[in-house]
Amino acid sequence: MADKIVMGYWDCPSCGSTGIPGTTYDCPNCGRQRGKETKFYMKAGKVEYVPGHKVVGADWYCEYCGALNTAARTTCENCGAPKAESKDDYFSLKEQKPKPAPSPVQNNIQASPDQNKKIPIWMWIVLGLVVSVTLSNVLSAWFNKPRDYTFDVQEMTWENSIEIEDYRTFRESDWNLPSGARLAYTASEIRSYESVLDHYESVTKSRTVQDGGHYETSYSDNGDGTFTEHETYVPDYTTEYYEEDEPVYRQEPIYDTKYYYDIDRWTYEKTETASGNDKNPYWPTLNLSDKEREAGRESKYTMSGTLHYKSFGKDKEKQQTYEIQESWWRDIKKGQTIELTLEGDKLTEWK
């Protein structure tokens, strides 16, 4: 469809006349020439077509005498000055309007340097972490620093223990028979499931499809008192429903042979312990059946007594028990007073 030309209108600010046809250069009421402030508009309701009107370009004002000329003229109709000298045509005059005041968005951008001065929350978190890690390192270094104490040895003990296992029979089941197992019975049981196509089911689905279209009309200002009418074809869409077959599956069990069997295993049974507060440790006597065996030996040596220490400048003491290595236990004697070096709770040296 070819574009059509329709009439635009303007108002005279001098005498207040309104709705003057755009192709008119002088106000029909007061005779004043259409001013540089003019903005053409369209009237509501039915448009007035201007048959045969050729759009060449925007009207222009002569730089020397101010007369209004059509775009088709290369010189002023009034004084003959060349059009090339003129900076004022309908559209360039619209562009020369004063710039709008800064929008609220621009104000926010200008305000942002102030916000940057504040420390962001993540920096506080990092700072807090650094401080707390440093503090805890300092505290633990202080706490674990080796310190010497006086210790009155009151008791030396030993403990020897032996772990014992017994040979037991377990009833178990599996998909195969392990070596050494004695089969009791087998059974057919569900081992897994398989998806099997059962049937197809009709499902209603929807999709968007084009369904014809319509013309939409818009207008653009030609700057010569007229507007061009544009007809644009806009497609219309509709939702279409259709049926589709979808597969439906069922879960079918797969059977396999399960073996139920008896199997013998060494299993933890008990711990036999011997202990004393003398210097002659011995191992507990074992009375093992042929279905029992030793699974490991362990010795433990301890020293108990009174630890002397200072707290806020005052002498204090407390009962303490330390687990120590065998050579220390052999050398330290009951009733002795020794010097201990502790790192945190750990006994690291004595003399």
Site residues for Zn ion per CB under 5 A = 12, 14-15, 17, 27, 29-30, 32, 62, 64-65, 67, 76, 78-79, 81
> Residue 26 Cβ, how far from Zn ion at the closest point, in Å?
8
Closer by beta carbon to Zn ion, 72 or else 209: 72
Closer by beta carbon to Zn ion, 62 or else 303: 62
Closer by beta carbon to Zn ion, 64 or else 282: 64
CA distance 225 to 89: 12
CA distance 89 to 337: 112
Residues 6 or more apart whose Cβ sits within 8 Å of residue 79: 62, 64, 65, 67
In this structure, what are the phi and psi dihedrals at residue 331, rounded to the nearest 5 degrees? -80, -35
> Residue 209 Cβ, how far from Zn ion at the closest point, in Å?
56
Written as six digits, the tokens of 246 are 């979808």
Closer by beta carbon to Zn ion, 80 or else 296: 80
Closer by beta carbon to Zn ion, 23 or else 173: 23
> Residue 1 Cβ, how far from Zn ion at the closest point, in Å?
37
Written as six digits, the tokens of 318 are 């407390």
Closer by beta carbon to Zn ion, 38 or else 160: 38
Residues 6 or more apart whose Cβ sits within 8 Å of residue 333: 153, 156
Enter the DSSP assignment of 224.
S
Enter the DSSP assignment of 102.
P
CA distance 299 to 242: 82
8 A C-beta contact, residue 264 and residue 178:
no
> Residue 11 Cβ, how far from Zn ion at the closest point, in Å?
9
